[in-house]
Structure 1
């Protein structure tokens, strides 16, 4: 039985530079350069508040989406920071992040947390 695997980038930090210089470009380039067939970005925790307030971060996430990165946000974090509607508007799918991530980990996907 063959299982598809890929990369999940979990973006949690409120460090703007880490997001703009590492997490988001890595997710985008990993997909653009064919390093992984599927790349998933999860916005979780303090990064949710940052994304809602920062145009440069939103543009970087949009570039990820254009490259084929699947974008998700933790429903609980989006609710806590009162940004759920904004995230839906940006095209992020709200998820139960704990269960979602665990499912991919159990399938053998690689996880990068920033």
Structure 2
């Protein structure tokens, strides 16, 4: 698969409207409309806290996972906010994200951040 077919969406904002109207909506469209063959959503920073506390966003994340979007969360950020367990219960890969993000960048994945 060529790298132009791979997208990482880096979600760092604690703004719920940005999450609903931009981040999650674009991820869904990118996967369902085959704009990219592989889509990874990375939940990082303040977005980890927002996601852990918002059931509407949690439902949307479950929907993204059901259509084949891989969802990862930064374990360091989640630990800082005390939300590791909540994110793991959602089925997210809660891992240190520095190295994986660096690899995405070095492997020329398309990276979109909010």
**TM-score, length-scaled by structure 1:** 0.94
Q: 1:88 deviation in Å?
A: 1.0
Q: 1:60 deviation in Å?
A: 1.3
Q: Deviations over 1:34-62 (max 9, x none)?
A: 11110000000000110011111111111
Residues 16-95 of structure 1 mapped to structure 2, 5 A cutoff: 16-95=16-95
Aligned counterpart, 2:14 = 14
Q: 1:63 deviation in Å?
A: 1.3
How far apart are the structure 2 equivalents of 1:22 and 1:3? Answer: 25
Q: 1:3 deviation in Å?
A: 4.8
Q: 1:84 deviation in Å?
A: 0.7
How far apart are the structure 1 equivalents of 2:100 and 2:67? Answer: 22
How far apart are the structure 1 equivalents of 2:110 and 2:76? Answer: 23
Aligned counterpart, 2:113 = 113
How many residue pairs match? The answer is 113
Q: Which moved more, 1:67-76 or 1:2-11?
A: 2-11
How far apart are the structure 1 equivalents of 2:56 and 2:66? Answer: 15
Would you say the 8 A contact 1:3–1:107 is kept in 2? no
How far apart are the structure 2 equivalents of 1:39 and 1:76? Answer: 22
Would you say the 8 A contact 1:10–1:41 is kept in 2? yes
Q: Which ranges of 4 or more aligned residues in structure 1 deviate by more than 2 Å?
A: 2-5
